[in-house]
Amino acid sequence: EKGGFPHFMLKEIFDQPDCISDCMRGRVNPDTCTVTLSAVTNHKDRLLRAGRFIIVACGTSWHAGLIGKQLLESFCRIPVEVEYASEFRYRNPVIHSDDVVMAISQSGETADTLAAIELAKSQGAFIYGICNVVGSSIARATDTGSYIHVGPEIGVASTKAFTGQVTVLTLLALALGCEKGTLPEAEYHRVVKELSAIPEKMRTVLKQNPFIADFSKMFTYARNFIYLGRGYAFPVALEGALKLKEISYIHAEGYPAAEMKHGPIALIDAEMPVVIVATQSPLYEKVLSNIQEIKARKGRVVAVVTEGDTVIRNLADYSIELPATLECLDPLITAIPLQLLAYHIAVCRGMDVDQPRNLAKSVTVE
Ligand code: F6R
């Protein structure tokens, strides 16, 4: 059932192009470059009059939420807060009746996320669910929602659910931004068109697997890692660091690249690998100077770049070249090499990647 792959995790990483196509099926019309999401069609008025979105989630799903915030704020001009479900539920949070509280959960069974939406519901908020498991507790507790439809995720470390969640959040931001008129029509069509091309670009990314497997060996005995990214790439850095921690048991931290000079730069020496997302974006030059700062301190750099980037190729120890896409869709592309890197380092260290110690697939305890 692993489809010829040694682990479920690797299979699920490689399934992502098909999963994202499944997630978009019936929702994205590639001919007209439009999006229809039934939750938006059925609850248009309620969603359009939302004063605020509050996203509640844990772990990887929380990272997807951080990307969702950027998408929803930029396409829909609605303020979005992203909360750890466990922190939200045990505070006395301000919840208004015109808020939309969105729960993101692969399993749909995470106890803290479920409790957070019960709390929000009791205070009159409208509840939107983004789940994978159909009929799960969270899916049943919501007023509406959109399934990610990526199929069962078996590996404990979440991979295809993350890109599925980001895809649904993109669809939601597109559909709402279009209805609201905050997303210019030409931009709307341009993003939808490029989103349709993502599965094919993911296939291109996956061709980097042998290269990543090969250089991962160099990091078998690393004790620490830093992951950096800015803007849409910051949550990707957090997610990359989480993947590495979970399955390889190497300590890793994700930071917004510009925060490096406010502390973490003190950690950089020849023993410190730094993974940095440096694809083409308006902030490229800034990220490039971060790489120069790390190299000046002899840090080892793994850079995730846009294909053809010879500047970083000459600077970084390893540079993983990916097809170009729109900045707002970049996480769907850049998350994949970081999943592969964590996977191969864990395999080199002889770890059980599908069943890492101390972790469970559904966290139903609080
Ligand atoms: C990371 C991971 C966990 C989950 C978290 C939330 O690889 O699997 O961090 O993302 O426990 O789980 P769900 O999405 O099922 O609520």
Mind listing the pLDDT tens digit for each residue in 161-189?
Answer: 999 999 999 999 999 999 999 999 999 99
What does the pLDDT average to over 25-42? 97
Report ipTM (2 d.p.): 0.98
The CA 110 to ligand 1 mean position distance, Å, reads 8
Ligand 1 in reach of 246 Cβ (< 6 A) = yes
Residue nearest (by alpha carbon) to ligand 1 atom 4: 59
Least confident of 16-25, 125-134, 330-339, 347-356: 347-356
pLDDT of residue 1: 85
Confidence band, pLDDT 50/70/90 cuts, at residue 232: very high
pLDDT of residue 335: 98
The CA 105 to ligand 1 mean position distance, Å, reads 7
Which ligand 1 atom is the nearest neighbour of the CA of 156? 8
Ligand 1 in reach of 158 Cβ (< 6 A) = yes
Residue 361 clears pLDDT 90, i.e. is over it: no
Question: Secondary structure of the chain in the HEC alphabet?
Answer: CCCCCCCHHHHHHHCHHHHHHHHHCCCEECCCCEECCHHHHHCHHHHHCCCEEEEEECHHHHHHHHHHHHHHHHHHCCCEEEEEHHHHHHCCCCCCCCEEEEEEECCCCCHHHHHHHHHHHHCCCEEEEEECCCCCHHHHHCCEECCCCCCCCCCCCCCHHHHHHHHHHHHHHHHHHHHHCCCCHHHHHHHHHHHHCHHHHHHHHHCCHHHHHHHHHHHCCCCEEEEEECCCHHHHHHHHHHHHHHHHCCEEEEEEHHHHHHCHHHHCCCCCEEEEECCCCCCHHHHHHHHHHHHHCCCEEEEEEECCCHHHHCCCCEEEEECCCCHHHHHHHHHHHHHHHHHHHHHHCCCCCCCCCCCCCCCCCC
Ligand 1 in reach of 113 Cβ (< 6 A) = yes
pLDDT of residue 360: 80
Percent of the chain with pLDDT over 70: 100
What does the pLDDT average to over 229-252? 97
pLDDT of residue 133: 98
Residue 366 clears pLDDT 80, i.e. is over it: no
pLDDT of residue 25: 97
Confidence band, pLDDT 50/70/90 cuts, at residue 359: confident
Ligand 1 in reach of 248 Cβ (< 6 A) = no
Summarised one tens digit per residue, pLDDT across range 35-52 is 999 999 999 999 999 999
pLDDT of residue 357: 80
The CA 59 to ligand 1 mean position distance, Å, reads 5
pLDDT of residue 315: 97
Ligand 1 in reach of 159 Cβ (< 6 A) = no
The CA 351 to ligand 1 mean position distance, Å, reads 19
Residue nearest (by alpha carbon) to ligand 1 atom 16: 105
The CA 198 to ligand 1 mean position distance, Å, reads 24
Ligand 1 in reach of 48 Cβ (< 6 A) = no
Which ligand 1 atom is the nearest neighbour of the CA of 361? 8
Q: How far apart are CA 138 and CA 108, in angstroms?
A: 5
What does the pLDDT average to over 66-95? 97
Ligand 1 in reach of 154 Cβ (< 6 A) = no
The CA 296 to ligand 1 mean position distance, Å, reads 37
Query: How high does pLDDT run on average in the chain?
Result: 96
Ligand 1 in reach of 137 Cβ (< 6 A) = no
Q: Annotated active-site positions, please?
A: 361
pLDDT of residue 199: 98
Mutation test residue for ligand 1: of 113, 158, 338, the one with most atoms within 8 Å of CB: 158
